[in-house]
Amino acid sequence: DEEEKELRQRFMAPPVSGLRELRRRRRELRSRMELLIMETQAEVCRALAALDPGASFAVDSWERKEGGGGISCVLQDGEVFEKAGVNVSVVSGLLSEEAARQMRSRGKSLKAKDGKLPFCAMGVSSVIHPKNPHVPTMHFNYRYFEIEEADGTKQWWFGGGTDLTPTYLNEEDAVHFHKTLKEACDKHDLKLYPKYKKWCDDYFYIKHRGERRGIGGIFFDDMDSPSKEEVFQFVKSCAKAVVPCYIPIVKKHCHDSFTPEEKLWQQLRRGRYVEFNLVYDRGTKFGLLTPGSRIESILMSLPLTARWEYMHTPPESSKEAEILEVLRNPRDWVH
């Protein structure tokens, strides 16, 4: 039918829960969130594809036998993007003991029924690794979680964030990126941006290196107040800010010239990206601990290429040393 055709044009693939089901439960937050993540995926993929016309997204729909599935969209080896992935997953089933333990360690009191905790989780997540060292890597993720406890009560929360990892510092870009995210937060509450910016700087910290993964952005988790509707609207504003905070930066630099030395520095910084994702990232850990999760989609965040050189230190007061200084001492970009 017409509506079905229109939805297919809107999205990269048919939604995991099926259009009929989403329509039937369209007032429920779960359905609205699924539509939002599907729309965000399509919006970001189209904006990226427009900048890299020679490349195209491979679109993979996958199912998880324990319940749910997802849609992975990955563009590889383009002119502009070395690897850009935008994934949606909508999964449900029973929480593994390991995953429940991870949540309890964050202060969640979860009362299981016969040791079982039914859950539903959905989110959109993306990592974009451009070819040119003057175009930063960008990551975003917005997700919703629901758990049903023994007595039938539901615990729910949202999490997410958007952050930027440049190889070289460009202050104008940093300001643009942070200002766009701050505007999205400010629509809801002026206290959110400073709080979530700090959380982002603290979260993307590579402890064994004493440096941040990038120049931050916003990050939050376990957000369950003031109300379901208000948090959803906030998450929606953040998701809508992804294209405007990043795409102009890509446009500005994707044709900049660069040297082999600059490309090498990008490769070394990518190595740090990998270290953070495999050692500290909670989402990666949760994915690896979830039975039946799709490893290819979880490890989509890893760059196509990276390097680890023994004891590499950039020369003092070089452009390379400048970014390290910012990664060790986060800055306030908007005031």
Helix ranges (H only) for the chain are 2-10, 19-24, 29-51, 97-104, 171-186, 192-203, 228-240, 242-253, 260-279, 282-289, 295-298, 319-328
**Neighbour tally for 299: CB within 10 Å:** 15
Measured in whole angstroms, the distance separating CA 325 from the mean position of its chain's CA atoms is: 25
List the beta bridge partners of residue 160. Answer: 142, 220
Answer for the pair 282, 163: CB distance below 8 angstroms, yes or no: no
| Percentages (nearest 5) of helix, strand, coil residues in the chain | 45, 25, 35
Q: What are phi and psi of 135, to 5 degrees?
A: -105, 125
Q: Which residue among the candidates 129, 139, 176, 178 is catalytic per the annotation?
A: 139
Is 208 a residue of the active site?
no
Give the contacts of 257 (CB within 8 A, at least 6 positions apart).
none
State the Cα–Cα distance between residues 105 and 42, nearest whole angstrom. 35
Give the contacts of 158 (CB within 8 A, at least 6 positions apart).
142, 143, 144, 145, 220, 223, 224, 231, 232, 234, 235
Catalytic center residues: 139
